[in-house]
Amino acid sequence: MGEQTLYLIQAFSESTRGRLLIDAPIRCISERAARAGAERLANTKAGVMALVMRGDMSKGLDHAHTEILYQSGRIPEEITIT
């Protein structure tokens, strides 16, 4: 399939017990759209990240390089970006 680039927003909501919940990722068409969308969501979510993933997605996400474009609020400790 070859090299691909994905722009994503990953938001996190807070449960009634204060636990962070992972929302469904939002796919964006550009870096600018991912940053802008994440900045807007930062006002209403417990935490939010805008990410870019580059790599051969046919080999799985473990073969993609991920970079954080924007981050705000609380992010679960188990979320690691390599």
- pLDDT digits (tens), the chain, 82 positions: 678 999 999 999 999 999 999 999 999 999 999 999 999 999 999 999 999 999 887 766 666 799 999 999 999 988 777 5
pLDDT score for 27: 98
User: Of 54, 56, 51, 57, whose CA–CA distance to 71 is shortest?
Assistant: 51
Distance of alpha carbon 1 from alpha carbon 9, whole angstroms: 23
